[in-house]
Chains A and B, each alone.
Chain A
Amino acid sequence: MSRDWSLLLGMLLALLACVLLWVLHGALMDQPGPRLADLAAANVPYSGVSNPVTSVLLNFRAYDTLLELAVVLAALLGIWALGPAVPGFQPSGPVLASMVSWIVPLLILAGGYMLWVGGHAPGGAFQAGALLGAAGVILRLGGDPRAGLPDETMQRWLAVAGTAVFTLVGLALAAAGEGFLTYPTDWAKWLILLIETAATIAIGVTLAAAYVGGRP
């Protein structure tokens, strides 16, 4: 694209940004507006977890999160479809190897903590899964071509585990007469923990496998 066009486009978009800013400012300042905050806050005690963001993600709007797990899976499937992985890096020297050998367990431990803490403070399955994925990335950078992942069959099962557990819990609740993804209040905490655990493992495996970048 030529420089003149780029400049013209920039000016037009700057104008757009100003208009949007003005609109947003108007919407935010004129009236504090009805928000879902109070409604959400009132229902958090019944959601099975005490962190409001987690209760939105895994209870009030759990369906969004289910589809979001499917998006992560779709990206991995798309990457697998593109062909075999590129070869990894050469094995690392002793210094790097020993550093990797204690960072990876720490990351896994931190992932587990993130998962548990998500119930009452910021954290949760995606953050924990990201840490697991990071452990895989470090392993691969350290020379393990498979990034610490199991064989193909196992990888496939683990990658679908999060979405599968989520969907099956939803359907089981529907079959039990509660409705799709409608957790009974007493069970909510444990069902959410179950879903989050499966999701953490799936996201960790998916991210590491996506980093490896090709069919296992």
Chain B
Amino acid sequence: MILFALGIWSFLSHEALLRKLIAFNVMGGGVFHVFIAVAYRGDTAPPDPVPHALVLTGIVVAVSATALALALGGRAQDAADHD
């Protein structure tokens, strides 16, 4: 939760793309940790595999989104340089 809120904060308060992206990933990390925490069911029971799978899916989605955002950012920089 703290990661989540920290992520939102720096997402909103930083201008630079790289910082925003790191903030987004921190935020996502916060959400994924909540899922992991939900999966824990005490020391004796095996953890719930469903949230683990959701986190894996979420990470891949976040990686893809970050890649596209970086490419767009690079392109915006190029376009600004040429203008």
Is any CB of A less than 8 Å from a CB of B in the complex? Answer: yes
| Chain A interface (Cβ < 8 Å from any Cβ of B) | 1, 5-6, 9-10, 13-14, 16-17, 20-21, 24, 28, 32, 35-37, 40-41, 52-53, 55-57, 60-61, 64-65, 68, 71-72, 74-75, 78-79, 82-83, 126, 210, 213
Interface 1/0 per residue, B4-25 and A, CB below 8 Å: 1110110011010000000000
Residue in contact with A61 in the complex, picked from B37, B53, B64, CB distance below 8 Å: B53
What DSSP secondary structure best describes chain A's contact surface?
helix
Q: Is the CB of A37 within 8 A of B12?
A: no
Q: Is the CB of B56 within 8 A of A82?
A: no
Interface 1/0 per residue, B65-82 and A, CB below 8 Å: 101100110110000000
Q: Report chain A residues within 8 Å CB of B8.
A: 13, 16
Contact A56:B68 (CB < 8 A) given known A28-B37, A68-B57: no
| Chain B interface (Cβ < 8 Å from any Cβ of A) | 1-2, 4-6, 8-9, 12-13, 15, 34, 37-39, 41-42, 45-50, 52-54, 56-57, 60-61, 64-65, 67-68, 71-72, 74-75
Q: Is the CB of A10 within 8 A of B67?
A: no
CB distance from B9 to the nearest CB of A (A): 5
Q: Is the CB of B52 within 8 A of A68?
A: no
CB distance from A63 to the nearest CB of B (A): 11
Contact A1:B68 (CB < 8 A) given known A20-B4, A40-B49: no
Contact A6:B5 (CB < 8 A) given known A37-B50, A57-B53: no
How distant is the Cα of A175 from the Cα of B25 in the complex, in angstroms? Answer: 41
Select from chain A the residue with minimum beta-carbon distance to B37: A28
